């Protein structure tokens, strides 16, 4: 069995452990502590690590993650064992049990806020930090079966959520990608080694509902792989017909931010939706 505790992490066990929903694939949720609001013009000093440890073992225990990670020093503290849920995301009654989804649902609070100042230097995103100790966290996550992928794409500062993806794909998620939550963190994350970026096919010219196009068949395969189209190989065709349009409509229902990239009245997929759909379908492999 993999280690319940990250090797080398300081241990601050909280007693209110609870099991995860193990029928789902393993995953990691990434957060930032966002203790202050710095700006490019007025950065602010990073909050001390020990202050956050005291918070998560005291008044903030109801929001404690598995790990607190300092990307500037590599220091880590752990509050729950891997197989317990932690409490850093909103988990509404009756919906997806967001804190429990997966064989493991490891939550990492990164000690960071935008334009934090460390040793006189300002850092806009976690991607800009030294990311010390990240390799150990990733190795630990891999030991629990978490793949080195972002099923909803690498995080940005915008929210992007799909409950279907959350429930069916293991991997790494930003807080901004977890159902029932409204946060936009962690923002851009480091690009770690061991991950091969998936490159979707370029958006094809002339892909129009009601017309034949060789790219209709790859579109149908991607819709099938992402769970929006129930079709056999024998039914694949170059026709962008009603069945494909209905499946694209389902994709838009799950990801409405892409609907305006095409033509909503005839359910055409646009270039941004195309890229996201193919990444959703195949980027986890």
User: Measured in whole angstroms, how far is the alpha carbon of residue 90 from the centre of its chain?
Assistant: 15
Q: Please report, for residues 70, 146, 148, 248, 268, the alpha-carbon distance to residue 198 in angstroms, rounded to integers and kept in the order given.
A: 29, 17, 12, 21, 23
**157 within domain boundaries:** yes
Range of the domain at 250: 216-282
Note the Cα 223 to chain centre separation in Å: 20
* Tally of structural domains, the chain: 2
Question: Do 220 and 112 lie in a common domain?
Answer: no
pLDDT category at 284 given cuts 50, 70, 90 is very low
Evaluate if residue 15 carries a pLDDT over 70. yes
| Residue 271, pLDDT score | 85
CATH number at residue 54: 3.40.80.10
Task: Please say if the pLDDT value at position 208 is more than 70.
Answer: yes
Q: Which of 153, 177, 201 is the last residue of a domain?
A: 177
Residue 192 is predicted with a pLDDT of 73
Q: Is residue 202 part of a domain?
A: no
The average pLDDT across 73-88 equals: 98
Residues 66, 17 share a domain: yes
């Amino acid at each position: 069995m993999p280690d319940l505790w990250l090797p080398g992490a300081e241990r601050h066990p909280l007693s209110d452990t609870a099991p995860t929903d193990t029928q789902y694939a393993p995953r990691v949720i990434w957060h930032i502590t966002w203790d202050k609001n710095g700006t490019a013009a007025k950065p602010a000093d990073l909050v001390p690590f020990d202050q956050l440890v005291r918070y998560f073992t005291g008044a903030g225990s109801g929001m404690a993650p598995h790990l607190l990670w300092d990307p500037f020093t590599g220091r880590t503290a752990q509050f729950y064992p891997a197989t317990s849920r932690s409490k850093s995301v909103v988990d509404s009654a009756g919906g997806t049990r967001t804190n429990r989804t997966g064989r493991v649902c490891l939550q990492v609070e990164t000690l960071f806020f935008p334009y934090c100042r460390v040793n006189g230097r300002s850092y806009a995103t976690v991607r800009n930090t030294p990311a010390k100790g990240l390799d150990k966290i990733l190795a630990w996550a891999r030991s629990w079966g978490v793949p080195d992928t972002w099923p909803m794409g690498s995080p940005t500062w915008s929210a992007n959520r799909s409950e279907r993806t959350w429930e069916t794909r293991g991997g790494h998620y930003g807080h901004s990608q977890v159902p029932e939550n409204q946060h936009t963190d962690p923002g851009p994350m480091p690009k770690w080694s061991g991950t091969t970026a998936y490159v979707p096919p370029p958006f094809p010219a002339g892909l129009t509902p009601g017309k034949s196009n060789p790219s209709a068949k790859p579109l149908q395969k991607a819709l099938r792989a992402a769970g929006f189209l129930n079709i056999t190989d024998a039914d694949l065709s170059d026709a962008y017909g009603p069945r494909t349009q209905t499946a694209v409509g389902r994709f838009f229902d799950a990801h409405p931010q892409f609907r305006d990239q095409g033509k909503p009245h005839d359910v055409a997929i646009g270039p941004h939706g195309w890229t996201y759909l193919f990444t959703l379908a195949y980027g986890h492999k």
